[in-house]
């Protein structure tokens, strides 16, 4: 670590945080780079649902920060949680100490948004973190075990009914994976559940699934999900979840112990940042250089920021990994330019398209370059596999994930369904 007092602090080690830390370190930027995260590892959120359903191991999609950056002498990792920012003192207050900065970069992403409903927050199963994914896998497997031994038919049905709230890519992907679990694995592992329907419901308040994607992708996804036996209810919000009953806005009630929540996200609010600096979804308002409004040396990247200066995205950019990565890449260039007294570039997002996987051999892809703008089916599935495989953080993750996928594809199975380090809910400890 350099003895210089110049510290560039990065809060959050997701797509944006890792990208800008790596770019600054490799560029020879004259500052200490301090990365702060509440976890000691980076993970790949687009594949969380495969960890949650037992098709990938945690180690396939995560990697420790210290090992990743170990060859950079001016890098420091601090495991901690940001509590407060003191802009007037150029200081951050963590749950385990405080640090001074010359420049502060906030790349904390988002958390699940329960829209103020405490019952849903308390009882639903989110999927935003590694802990969430492990808990979801353990919970689903635990409830299948309970269903396999209970003689109460109503209780068995509740244990094996799944409601997925949110029809975006994550909701579609988790619903599709649950359907594959039902079709290819359930009766092999749980012959006691031979006559159980294993109902899967996908609910969203918008009139279509995959709302940000093309109409062709939306229609293909809807038709594929319906063919897989998934019950889709659109244009309706989940209003509450009490006593194992999901209440939907149209008056429908679904009895289930499994509400999987992928219905929305919100950014974090930090003490010390002016209230006027926050925009829609609690995202930090930034200029075309990603500098936070009302501050001098604080920047925000990715999902936690909202920029309205890009002509093609006057209402802000979509909360996608590519936005975060591109913003981080440009900010690293601009910080180097500033340090040399050169001019900075304004951020303009290069939209490369979007994609979502539905199930084995089924996916959708909307591209912005080339003569063909939309793909679905097996070819789109191959594109999805290729892009996600090569987006993983290092070679080890790419190789292990590839062989896990190869095994799952050829066998339609995966031996990762272990309930590990799981504490039953006190109200569910016996059946």
CATH of the domain at 101: 3.50.50.60
Q: Are residues 123 and 71 in the same domain?
A: no
Q: Tell whether 431 is covered by a domain.
A: no
Q: Which of 88, 173, 255, 345 is catalytic?
A: 173
Q: Are residues 32 and 146 in the same domain?
A: no
Q: Are residues 72 and 133 in the same domain?
A: no
Separation CA 52–CA 213 (nearest Å): 24
Number of structural domains, the chain?
2
Which of 238, 259, 280 is the last residue in one of the domains?
259
Instruction: Return the structure tokens found at 412.
Output: 């339609």
Which of 244, 259, 274 is the last residue in one of the domains?
259
Distances (CA, A) of 224 to 293, 365, 394: 44, 14, 33
Q: Where are the alpha helices (DSSP H) in 197-258?
A: 215-227
Q: Are residues 252 and 218 in the same domain?
A: yes
Q: Are residues 120 and 245 in the same domain?
A: yes
Look at residues 52, 49, 256 and name the one whose alpha carbon lies nearest to residue 138. 52
Percent of the chain's residues with pLDDT above 70: 97
**Sign of the four-CA dihedral 247, 250, 253, 259:** negative
Look at residues 203, 206, 208 and name the one whose alpha carbon lies nearest to residue 222. 208
pLDDT per residue as tens digits for the range 101-153: 999 999 999 999 999 999 999 999 999 999 999 999 999 999 999 999 999 99
pLDDT of residue 347: 98
Separation CA 60–CA 47 (nearest Å): 9
Q: Tell whether 384 is covered by a domain.
A: no
Report the DSSP beta bridge partners of residue 36: 11, 78
Does 173 qualify as catalytic in the annotation? yes
Separation CA 96–CA 78 (nearest Å): 9
Q: Are residues 156 and 240 in the same domain?
A: yes
Instruction: Return the structure tokens found at 391.
Output: 């987006």
Tabulate helix, strand, coil % of the chain (nearest 5). 40, 25, 40
Burial 171-192, CB ≥16 within 10 A → b, else e? bbbbbbbbbbbbeebbeeebee
Tell me the pairing of strands 305-307 and 238-242.
unpaired
Look at residues 121, 82, 322, 342 and name the one whose alpha carbon lies nearest to residue 212. 322
pLDDT of residue 427: 45
Q: How does DSSP classify residue 428?
A: G
pLDDT of residue 2: 53
Separation CA 4–CA 339 (nearest Å): 15
Q: Are residues 183 and 244 in the same domain?
A: yes
Question: Can you tell me which residue has the tokens 């910080």?
Answer: 335
| Contacting residues for 251 by C-beta, under 8 A, at least 6 apart | none
Look at residues 27, 37, 97, 94 and name the one whose alpha carbon lies nearest to residue 64. 37
Q: Are residues 293 and 328 in the same domain?
A: yes
Q: Are residues 134 and 99 in the same domain?
A: no
* Secondary structure in 3-state letters for 370-386: CCCCEEECHHHHHHHHH
pLDDT per residue as tens digits for the range 252-289: 999 999 999 999 899 999 999 999 999 999 999 999 99
pLDDT over 70 (residue 428): no
pLDDT of residue 371: 77
Average pLDDT for the chain: 94
pLDDT per residue as tens digits for the range 342-389: 999 999 999 999 999 999 999 999 998 777 889 999 999 999 999 999
| Polymer length in residues for the chain | 431
Instruction: Return the structure tokens found at 67.
Output: 């090992």
Q: How confident is the model at residue 421 (pLDDT cuts 50, 70, 90)?
A: confident
Q: Are residues 42 and 18 in the same domain?
A: yes
Domain holding 246, by residue range, is: 115-259
Which of 278, 309, 339 is the last residue in one of the domains?
339
Q: Are residues 31 and 60 in the same domain?
A: yes
* Secondary structure in 3-state letters for 137-189: HHHHHHHHHHHHHCCCHHHHHHHCCEEEECCCHHHHHHHHHHHHHHHHCHHHH
Count each helix (H run) and each strand (E run) in the chain, helices first. 12, 25
Q: What are phi and psi of 341, to 5 degrees?
A: 80, 15
Q: Are residues 252 and 132 in the same domain?
A: yes
pLDDT per residue as tens digits for the range 284-327: 999 999 999 999 999 999 999 999 999 999 999 999 999 999 99
């Amino acid at each position: 670590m350099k003895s210089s007092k110049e510290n560039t602090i990065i809060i959050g080690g997701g797509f944006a945080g890792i990208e800008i830390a790596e770019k600054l370190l490799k560029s020879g930027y004259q500052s200490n780079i301090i990365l702060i995260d509440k976890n000691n590892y980076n993970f790949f959120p687009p594949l969380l649902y495969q960890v949650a359903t037992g098709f990938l191991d945690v180690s396939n999609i995560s990697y420790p920060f210290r090992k990743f950056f170990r060859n950079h002498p001016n890098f420091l990792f601090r495991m901690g949680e940001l509590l407060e920012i003191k802009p007037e003192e150029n200081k951050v207050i963590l749950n385990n100490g405080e640090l001074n900065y010359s420049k502060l970069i906030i790349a904390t992403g988002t958390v699940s948004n329960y829209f103020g409903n405490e019952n849903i927050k308390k009882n639903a199963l989110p999927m935003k973190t590694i802990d969430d994914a492990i808990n979801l896998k353990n919970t689903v497997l635990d409830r299948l075990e309970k269903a396999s031994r209970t003689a109460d038919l109503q209780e068995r049905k509740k244990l094996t009914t799944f409601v997925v709230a949110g029809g975006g890519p994550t909701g579609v992907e988790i619903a599709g994976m649950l359907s594959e679990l039902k079709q290819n694995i359930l009766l092999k592992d749980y012959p006691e559940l031979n006559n159980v329907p294993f109902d899967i419901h996908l609910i969203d308040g918008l009139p279509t699934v995959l709302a940000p994607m093309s109409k062709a992708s939306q229609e293909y996804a809807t038709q594929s999900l319906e063919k897989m036996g998934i019950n889709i209810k659109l244009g309706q919000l989940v209003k509450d979840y009490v006593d194992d009953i999901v209440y939907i806005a149209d008056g429908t009630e679904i009895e289930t112990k499994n509400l999987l929540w992928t219905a929305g996200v919100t950014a974090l609010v930090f003490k010390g940042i002016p209230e006027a600096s926050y925009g829609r979804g609690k995202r930090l308002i930034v200029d075309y250089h990603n500098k936070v409004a009302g501050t001098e040396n604080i920047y925000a990247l990715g999902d936690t920021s909202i920029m309205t200066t890009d002509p093609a995205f006057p209402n802000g950019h979509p909360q996608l990994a590519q936005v975060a990565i591109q913003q981080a890449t440009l900010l690293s260039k601009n910080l180097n330019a500033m340090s040399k007294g050169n001019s900075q570039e304004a951020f303009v997002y290069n939209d490369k398209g979007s994609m979502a996987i539905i199930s084995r051999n089924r996916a959708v892809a909307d591209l912005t370059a080339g003569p063909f703008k939309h793909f679905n089916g097996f070819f789109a599935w191959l594109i999805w596999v290729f892009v996600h495989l090569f987006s993983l953080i290092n070679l080890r993750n790419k190789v292990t994930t590839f062989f896990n996928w190869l095994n799952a594809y050829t066998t339609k199975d995966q031996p990762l369904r272990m309930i590990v380090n799981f504490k039953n809910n006190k109200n569910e400890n016996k059946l």
